Amino acid sequence: MKAQPTASIEPWRFALAALDAGEPAILVTVVEHSGSVPGVTGTFVVVTPSGQSGTVGGGVAEHAMVERARAGGSDALVEFVHTEEGDGTLCSGRQLFSFLPLTRSARKEVEHVITTLEDHETGTLTLASDGLSFRPGETNPLRLERDGDRWTFTQPVGLLDTLTIVGGGHVALALSRVMATLPFRIVVLDNRTDLPTMETNPFAHELRVVDYDRIADEVPEGERSWVVVMTYGHHHDRDVVERLLSRELRYLGLMGSTAKVRKLFADMAADGADPAALARVRAPIGVAIGSHTPEEIAISVAAELIAVRNGVDT
């Protein structure tokens, strides 16, 4: 199953407010999906008699599940099959929903989820036929287990993936703004002090002035580490890319024109850089949309990151 980790904090705040007000609330979660559906595994909505927060994809399926929740339906698991004839949608997939009433006993767990998200930390949420629990600091995989009438669904919560933007200029600021709407922890690094676009960036979770000679020490390794290089000079771009070539990263991309990238990589190869390692660098970064302004470039880069994350070849 593929899904985005739970990153939205507002539905949990909504749930806490309902619990404090003594208002009944039901957590409706997509615990399994297949085919083309509007809401994938892990998406959720909190439903009360007077409102709702979050989404399981919208449309007919969400409307039906919200109405079922409001009608007092706390069925363990409910399947919704999308067919053009049956529900008027053009989707052709299937969603399995869990309905979990949130009681006062769940208040502490909900608070822990909120605190974890506020602190940009991670944890694992477990939904089960007998209630909800949360373990901060753990990142167990997305999984649904069923045994007769009993079921358990686990999912990671928080910003599991880190996007490191090397170079804190105007495009970095614009990219931070766009990526802040997605489940990524954003770190911006630059070697310049008193850079206005660093000082006025409220979207990144962390901003640091670093020495590019030590850039490899500043970037985490692993399948959840994404790096975009957009420094203010070709020599800095080369220095950073060279120092990151051997790192195990999910994504390493370089901003620049096609001519710049071709010349830079040719020079690096001539000086002994591994051609196979260079071939793994995404360059020039961004989906080809004819972008020119920092905001347009940011959208094109964000689109590429999303495509790579979702396994779509751009």
Q: What is the CA radius of gyration of the chain?
A: 22
Residue 201 backbone zone (phi > 0: left; psi -120 to 50: alpha; other: beta): beta
Query: Does position 97 have pLDDT exceeding 80, yes or no?
Result: yes
The domain that contains 184 carries what CATH number?
A: 3.40.50.720
Percent of the chain with pLDDT over 90: 76
Kindly report the average pLDDT of the chain as a whole number.
91
Query: Does position 88 have pLDDT exceeding 70, yes or no?
Result: no
Phi/psi for 174 (5° steps) reads: -65, -40
Judge whether 44 and 74 are in contact, CB under 8 Å: no
Which of the pair, 130 or 239, is modelled with greater confidence? Answer: 239
4 belongs to a structural domain: no
Domain co-membership, 89 together with 116: yes
Q: Which of 143, 158, 173 is the last residue of a domain?
A: 158
3 belongs to a structural domain: no
Query: Does position 139 have pLDDT exceeding 50, yes or no?
Result: yes
Domain co-membership, 153 together with 174: no
Give the pLDDT score at 6.
42
Average pLDDT over residues 103-113: 94
Least confident piece of the model among 88-92, 157-161, 255-259: 88-92
pLDDT band at 148 (very low <50, low <70, confident <90, very high): confident
CA distance 19 to 107: 7
Average pLDDT over residues 2-25: 81
Give the pLDDT score at 159.
87
pLDDT band at 124 (very low <50, low <70, confident <90, very high): very high
136 belongs to a structural domain: yes
Domain co-membership, 267 together with 179: yes
Domain co-membership, 22 together with 77: yes
Give the pLDDT score at 91.
63
Highest mean pLDDT among 80-89, 194-203, 304-313: 194-203
pLDDT in tens, 30-69: 999 998 888 899 999 999 999 999 999 888 889 999 999 9
300 belongs to a structural domain: yes
pLDDT in tens, 199-250: 999 999 999 999 999 999 999 999 999 999 999 989 999 999 999 999 999 9
Give the pLDDT score at 89.
56
Q: Where are the alpha helices (DSSP H) in the chain?
A: 10-20, 59-70, 84-87, 107-118, 170-179, 196-199, 215-218, 234-244, 258-270, 275-279, 294-309
Query: Does position 156 have pLDDT exceeding 80, yes or no?
Result: yes
314 belongs to a structural domain: no
Domain co-membership, 46 together with 183: no
Total tally of structural domains belonging to the chain: 2
Domain span including residue 183: 161-309
Least confident piece of the model among 81-95, 104-118, 133-147, 181-195: 81-95
Judge whether 207 and 218 are in contact, CB under 8 Å: no
5 belongs to a structural domain: no
Average pLDDT over residues 168-194: 95
The pair of three-digit structure tokens given for residue 304, joined into one six-digit string: 């590429």
Query: Does position 19 have pLDDT exceeding 60, yes or no?
Result: yes
Domain co-membership, 152 together with 166: no
Percent of the chain with pLDDT over 70: 94
Domain co-membership, 152 together with 270: no
Domain co-membership, 167 together with 95: no
Query: Does position 166 have pLDDT exceeding 80, yes or no?
Result: yes
Q: Which of 101, 131, 158 is the last residue of a domain?
A: 158
Helix axes 294-309, 170-179, angle to 10 degrees: 50
Give the pLDDT score at 200.
94
Give the pLDDT score at 138.
84
Q: Which of 124, 158, 192 is the last residue of a domain?
A: 158
1 belongs to a structural domain: no
Domain co-membership, 103 together with 166: no
Q: Taken in order 244, 250, 256, 260, is the CA torsion positive or negative?
A: positive
Query: How far apart, in Å, are the Cα atoms of 297 and each of 265, 278, 283, 286, 305?
Result: 22, 22, 13, 7, 12
Domain co-membership, 37 together with 140: yes
Domain co-membership, 63 together with 143: yes
Domain co-membership, 221 together with 183: yes
33 belongs to a structural domain: yes
pTM above threshold 0.75: yes
